[in-house]
Amino acid sequence: MSVPARPDGPPSGEHVVVSLPSHSMPARLLERHASHLPALEHRALLDGLLTAHDPAARVVVVTSSEPAPEVLDHYARLARPDDPDDARRRVTCLVVPDDGPRGIAAKLLDRPDLLDRLRRQVGATPAVIEPWNVTVDEVAVAQALGVPLNGGPAELWPLGFKSASRRLFREAGVPVPVGVEDVRGLDEVAAAVRAILREAPQLERVVVKLDNSGAGEGNLVLTVRDDEGRPMPDDALVAALTRLAPATFLRDLSLGGVVEEMVTGEVVSSPSAQVEITRHGEVVVRSTHEQLLGGLDGQVFVGSRFPADAEDAAEVAGHAAAVARRLAERGAVGWLSVDVAAARGSFGRRLVAVDLNLRKGGTSHSHAALRHLAPGRYDAGAGRWRAVDGGERHYRSSDDVEVGRGVAAGRVIDALETAGLAFDPAARTGVVLHMFPSLEDRGTVGATAIGRTADEAERLFDAASATLRRA
């Protein structure tokens, strides 16, 4: 499928950004998170903060849930404290009223009337679609609108799957954990464990990953030794995985997956890097982060710190750029990220790539808040954000700050502003909220605390968390 050519660069006059937060993910993930999709989609409202430094831009956010007026007003005040009414006019939402477990692009394609409305909203104005990911659904939307995508082509989407990404890492000269690709079925998992133990005989645990998965969901940690420390026989491994894995996991494993060592050390962290590939094939490192992981086995993304630790940032950025260059040669365009496991111990320091996200991810929206409200550039060599005011900026972000189920968005906004913690456009520091639909669904809200130092960002985040718990 082809889409209209992307513009050579940012338009100098009036232009439109269509933010399309379409989560075209495996059915098992969409079904599990169906009630949470509006909150995930509303992270794209942070794209509207573009009007803070680009008053010629109009932003249209496509979503399945109408944002509350007080939320849009809040973002307008952040973007343009001098003229919030103008910012409010320049950010609109196209609501596709469908709460089913599908990406918003698929839902929009079922509504030719809404596609036509979006086409009229864009009109003859230069425009670009900013997708969350690019599959055939997002390409079909771009074709229908006649508007270019900052992403794609869709046929490259499987390169982000686990087996393909391990091969791509090796091709780019990026180290990977000991592991086996293209594993299908329980017996092949057991065979892969035997192969890994031959190379890493002291290993105690492996991670079984489904090829098509995301955010750590689709990863299962499997112990490979019995209580006496002996390698488990194949039948015991199969039995253990059968007990651990949901039926959907075992079904999807038949489509492909990987088994790789569980990276261990005295200290293990998970830095990542975001990269953008421009239309002309230029590779630009946009950020590095320390990912914060949770869940039963520490496999689920729960938040981030920006930037990554200085000792790792440049190397992580270099690995991500090397992978992006290989993807650019294949025609990839737009945003991607590479996740790394960083281990330290008596063996020294070790960095290995563990995941490729050929899309935006869990750190993209918090970075959007930074670059729109405290504009500057990321210095990949120094691992620092250099703001236009000459200072550095750091942040701490999470999508799951506890508030209380059913608390109104306006009340949460008021609580943060009353406490003096809301983002201050003059100082370009403070807390930006997002994901307000989570208040109803989970009793949580997202928050990105931006400070001039890492300590200031952490203090702001902790203070905001305490304030919102009292809201």
Say if residue 7's pLDDT is above 70.
no
- pLDDT (tens digit per residue) in 374-387: 999 999 999 999 99
DSSP H or E segment with residue 371: helix 364-373
Which residues, 6 or more positions from 25, have their beta carbon under 8 angstroms from its beta carbon? 103, 133, 214
The rounded percent of the chain whose pLDDT value lies above 70 is 96
pTM of the full structure: 0.92
Taking residues 272-301, what's their average pLDDT?
87
What is the model's pLDDT at position 457? Answer: 98
What are the backbone dihedrals phi and psi of residue 154, each rounded to the nearest 5 degrees, phi first?
Answer: -65, -30
Q: Residue 388 in 3-state DSSP?
A: coil
Say if residue 86's pLDDT is above 80.
yes
Say if CB 308 and CB 289 are below 8 A apart.
Answer: yes
What is the model's pLDDT at position 218? Answer: 74
Taking residues 81-95, what's their average pLDDT?
96
Sheet of strand 257-261, all strands in order from the earlier edge strand to the far edge: 179-183, 257-261, 205-214, 217-223
DSSP H or E segment with residue 292: strand 283-294
- pLDDT (tens digit per residue) in 56-82: 999 999 999 999 999 999 999 999 999
What is the model's pLDDT at position 2? Answer: 52
Q: Which amino acid is at 155?
A: E
Concatenated DSSP letters for 341-359?
EEEEETTEEEEEEEEEESS
Say if residue 172's pLDDT is above 80.
yes
Say if residue 29's pLDDT is above 80.
no
Say if residue 1's pLDDT is above 50.
no
- pLDDT (tens digit per residue) in 239-257: 999 999 988 899 999 999 9
- The mean pLDDT value of the chain amounts to 93
Q: Residue 44 in 3-state DSSP?
A: helix
Say if CB 8 and CB 128 are below 8 A apart.
Answer: no
- pLDDT (tens digit per residue) in 122-150: 999 999 999 999 999 999 999 999 999 99
Q: Residue 187 in 3-state DSSP?
A: helix
